[in-house]
Amino acid sequence: MIAIIDYDIGNVAAVANMLQRLGLPCKVTARADEVEQAERIILPGNGAFDACMQNLRASGLIPVLEQQVLQRCVPLLGICVGAQMLGHGSEEGQEPGLGWIDMWVKRFPALPGLRIPHMGWNRVQPIQPTNLLTKDMTAEARFYFVHSYYMAPQDSANILLQANYGIDFAAGVVRDNIAGVQFHPEKSHRFGKQLLAAFVGGDRSCKRV
């Protein structure tokens, strides 16, 4: 079962609908016992970084997520702000992130002709083309983005996908069984379906002890 974490951030239904169209068993949940039974976990995110982190802490689910993801190596996929929350924090606010990936979240620079937020379709480039999430991704793959802040991993080994919007930025990050994408696969039609299917069918390897 795929657990979609519900902590009052608004876009969980769209993720569930996409998984259901793929015929994949999923459950939108705010219950720790259901998260404990999950074989895959999706952490969506929508809106401001601080509000998302505050809601996640208030949900009481962080301990069970840490148990599942960091100790039991259950694969997790963060989406949009859910991906940003995997890092240490964001220039958008003051709240600390989960700190599962060594990265910070930065605001796009003010460049001539660059509208912020970055909104719409954009192509991505796999930086780790042999990763299970990207190995079948074609050169025409494009995804739907809505964001004013971008992920900036400290170690390039954590960059899974790259896109360009005035600057090159990490459109996807990865560390062992933890991955995050800045775009919305649930709004990205066949390319989003392909990525979600790859996440569900991927390896659950984990190097942690």
Q: Which residues are catalytic?
A: 80, 184, 186
* Whole-number Å distance between alpha carbons of 168 and 171: 9
| E strands in the chain | 2-5, 26-29, 40-43, 76-79, 89-90, 103-107, 118-123, 125-126, 142-147, 149-153, 159-165, 167-175, 178-181
Q: What is the DSSP letter of 124?
A: -
Q: Whose structure tokens read 């809601």?
A: 55
At 171, list the tokens.
Answer: 């459109």
* Whole-number Å distance between alpha carbons of 8 and 126: 31
| Nearest in space to 168 (alpha carbons), one of 178, 186, 153, 179 | 153
Burial of 151 (0-12, 13-18, 19+ CB in 10 A): buried
* Whole-number Å distance between alpha carbons of 119 and 187: 12
